[in-house]
Structure formats: C-alpha cells, structure tokens
C-alpha cells in the first residue's frame, strides 16, 4: 500500500505548492525542542575525499552525525573512515557495492538482488567493519532508498536482525505513519524489533527526501527550478519551522561533496548549532535506550 501511495503522490508533482499548504495547518511552537539527526551518505570517491574538511566543520560547531558508508570504499580508504569514528561520529552499513552506483556498480538495483545477495551485501560490510575498523555498525541505510520501490521490508528487517543491526533509516516519512497521534518519524517493527527512522521530506517538495542531491544535482525540472535550489538557507529555516508544527524530530541526509562545495552550509551549521532548542545526536546515541529496552 505504501508503494501505491508513493506512486500516486509522485504523479501529483505539478500540484506540490497546493499540497504543501496542508502541512502548515499545525500550530507553530517556537519553543519546541527539536531532535536534529544529521547524516551523510558517503558513497562516492568524491565524498571520501571531502571527509577531512567535513569533519573539521562538524567539530567546529560541535555537531555529531551519522555516516552511511559503503564497504567497497571502507576497504579502499580505511584511514578516512577511521577518522569518522575517531571524531565521535557513527558509521551505518550502506551495503558493500551500493548497487546502481555509477562509479563501482552501475548495472543493477538493490531491489533486483535476491534475498541471499542482499544479505551478502550487508554481511560483507559488517564483517569488513569489524576487521578493518574494529567497529560493528548497528544502523543501516538502503542504497538509493528514495528510488527503491519493491523492497520487502519484512525480509529486509529479518536480514538486518540476523546481522546484529538494530535500526534502519531508509523510508520517507510520508510512507508510514505508525503513530498518527504525533506523526512521529520513528516506529519499531513488532516482529523483529528493528527501529525504522524515516527521513524528513523537503518543505518545498513534500514527497521528496530533504537531501543535497535533489537540491544540487538532480536533472528533474521540478527540482532544478524549485525554490529549494535558489536559497538553501531559507529552505533549512522553513524545514525547521515546519517541524516545530508537526513533530519533534528532523532526520536529513546530505552528501559530503555537496556540503564542502557550497558556502551556505557552514553558515547554516553555525546558525542551527547556536540554537539551544536544537539537540544534535547520532542515531546510535539516541536509540541506545530503545535498543536495550
């Protein structure tokens, strides 16, 4: 059903400005605290090459983040990935070859793999992290999750549990509202205990993940000429204001290569880190109590 909803909403792209109005009916609470989860998809060589600069920026503003990393690049650049952990951040399992990655695995999607092949992708990265980094990821993110339409989440969650992974961040928040009372981004699968933490959507494109790819590099006209492309700072502020009306969490992901190449980001990090009502955390730190419950 969630996939059908996504297809229907995707067809409503021209009506985004009208659909978006509905999201602002909530009462704005300027004092509401926001739990802000910042993550980075580190899945190309260019992302890895920008890690040093990005880590310095995050350290400057005392922001802890989660990094979704690909086994292939961890094996190729172990020192760069150790620096993530040494700086106090966490690493998520982002598969071993990141299917449909134009640099290393361009010819197949993750959803086209058999369940055994999907598990091999996940297990290979788990094993590599233990061997090379002396670290066991307990979080996961699907490759190209925004375009993965036919994933069986029941089967995926079973694979994650078998590999000692405790939470996942691969769904867009409009696909599942398990807690309709407060519209939380977080739900716990009753069968496996896996925690799913959905990604926050863009304030201008309510059925699209708030990510740096669609802001900077997507070729779709709706994004190339959308408001979010004109003023990144304004888009961040709008996203935060929207979430003060609807929920207490913001969960976004960005690409290191985009952040380090765009001068607005440091100003944004400075502004949001100075707001005492915004609390930064890694998934691992925040979910530690739930995991042990």
Higher pLDDT, 184 or 237: 237
Separation between Cα atoms, residue 132 and residue 188, nearest integer Å: 31
Please provide residue 209's backbone torsions phi and psi, each rounded to the nearest 5 degrees: -60, 140
Separation between Cα atoms, residue 1 and residue 14, nearest integer Å: 23
Separation between Cα atoms, residue 123 and residue 96, nearest integer Å: 8
Most confident of 18-22, 169-173, 283-287: 283-287
Q: Which tokens belong to 51?
A: 């890690």
Q: Which tokens belong to 264?
A: 């607005």
Residue 19 confidence class, pLDDT cut points 50, 70, 90: very low
Q: Which tokens belong to 61?
A: 């503003």
High-pLDDT (> 90) share of the chain, %: 58
Reported residue count of the chain is: 293
Separation between Cα atoms, residue 121 and residue 274, nearest integer Å: 39
Residue 67 confidence class, pLDDT cut points 50, 70, 90: very high
Please provide residue 144's backbone torsions phi and psi, each rounded to the nearest 5 degrees: 50, 45
Separation between Cα atoms, residue 36 and residue 200, nearest integer Å: 10
Q: What average pLDDT score do residues 170-192 get?
A: 71
Higher pLDDT, 37 or 240: 37
Average pLDDT value over all residues in the chain: 84
Residues 6+ apart with CB under 8 A from 54: 40, 256, 259, 260
pLDDT of residue 115: 97
pLDDT digits (tens, 9 = 90+) for 204-235: 777 788 888 777 777 777 666 655 556 788 88
Residue 247 confidence class, pLDDT cut points 50, 70, 90: low
Residue 31 confidence class, pLDDT cut points 50, 70, 90: low
Residue 27 confidence class, pLDDT cut points 50, 70, 90: low
> Domain 32-292 maps to which CATH number in 3.20.20.370, 1.10.3720.10, 3.40.50.300, 3.60.15.10?
3.20.20.370
135 Rama sector, left if φ>0, alpha if ψ -120 to 50, beta otherwise: beta
Q: What SS3 string covers the chain?
A: CHHHHHHHHHCCHHHHHHHHHHHHCCCCCCCCCEEEEEEEEECCHHHHHCHHHHHHHHHHCCCCCEEEECHHHHHHCHHHHHHHHHCCCEEEECCCCCCCECCCECCCCHHHCCHHHHHHHHHHHHHHHHHHHCCCCCEECCCCHHHCCCCCHHHHHHHHHHCCCCEECCCEHHHCCCCCCCCCCEEECCCCCCEEECECECCCCCCCECEHHHHHCCCCHHHHCCHHHHCHHHHHHHHHHHHHHHCCEEEEEECHHHHHCCCHHHHHHHHHHCCCCEEECCHHHHCHHHHHC
pLDDT digits (tens, 9 = 90+) for 125-166: 999 999 999 999 999 999 998 778 788 999 999 999 999 999
pLDDT of residue 17: 44
Separation between Cα atoms, residue 279 and residue 283, nearest integer Å: 12
Does residue 13 register a pLDDT over 50? Answer: no
pLDDT of residue 243: 78
Extents of the domains making up the chain: 32-292
Q: 118, 165 in Cβ contact below 8 A?
A: no
Separation between Cα atoms, residue 17 and residue 20, nearest integer Å: 5
Separation between Cα atoms, residue 277 and residue 279, nearest integer Å: 6
Does residue 278 register a pLDDT over 50? Answer: yes
The DSSP bridge pattern shows strands 167-168 and 186-188 to be unpaired
pLDDT of residue 179: 47
Q: What average pLDDT score do residues 113-124 get?
A: 98
pLDDT digits (tens, 9 = 90+) for 69-112: 999 999 999 999 999 999 999 999 999 999 999 999 999 999 99
Residue 171 confidence class, pLDDT cut points 50, 70, 90: confident
pLDDT of residue 20: 45
High-pLDDT (> 70) share of the chain, %: 81
Task: Tell if the pTM clears 0.95, that is, is over it.
Answer: no
């Amino acid at each position: 059903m969630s996939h059908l909803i996504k297809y229907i909403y995707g067809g409503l792209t021209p009506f985004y400005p009208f659909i978006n109005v509905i999201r602002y009916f909530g009462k704005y609470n300027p004092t509401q605290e926001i739990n802000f989860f910042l993550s980075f998809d580190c899945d190309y060589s260019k992302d890895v090459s920008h890690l040093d600069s990005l880590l310095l920026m995050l350290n400057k503003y005392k922001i802890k983040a989660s990094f979704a990393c690909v086994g292939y690049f961890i094996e190729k650049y172990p020192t760069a990935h150790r620096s993530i952990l040494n700086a106090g951040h966490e690493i998520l399992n982002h598969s071993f070859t990141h299917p449909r990655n134009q640099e290393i695995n361009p010819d197949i999607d993750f959803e086209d793999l058999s369940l055994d092949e999907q598990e091999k992708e996940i297990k290979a990265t788990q094993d590599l992290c233990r061997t090379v980094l002396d670290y066991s990821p307990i979080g996961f993110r699907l490759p190209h999750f925004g375009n993965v339409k036919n994933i069986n989440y029941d089967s995926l969650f079973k694979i994650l549990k078998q590999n000692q992974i405790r939470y996942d961040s691969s769904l867009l928040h409009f696909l599942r509202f398990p807690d309709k009372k407060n519209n939380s981004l977080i739900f716990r699968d009753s069968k496996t205990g896996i925690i799913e933490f959905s990604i926050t959507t863009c304030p201008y494109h309510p059925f699209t993940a708030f990510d740096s790819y669609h802001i900077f590099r997507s070729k779709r006209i709706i994004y190339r000429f959308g408001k979010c492309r004109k003023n990144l700072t304004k888009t961040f502020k709008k996203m935060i204001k929207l979430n003060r009306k609807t929920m207490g969490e913001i969960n976004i992901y960005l690409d290191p290569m985009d952040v380090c190449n765009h001068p607005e980001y440091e100003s944004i990090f400075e502004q949001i880190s100075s707001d005492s009502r915004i609390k930064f955390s890694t998934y691992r730190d925040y979910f530690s109590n739930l995991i042990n419950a």
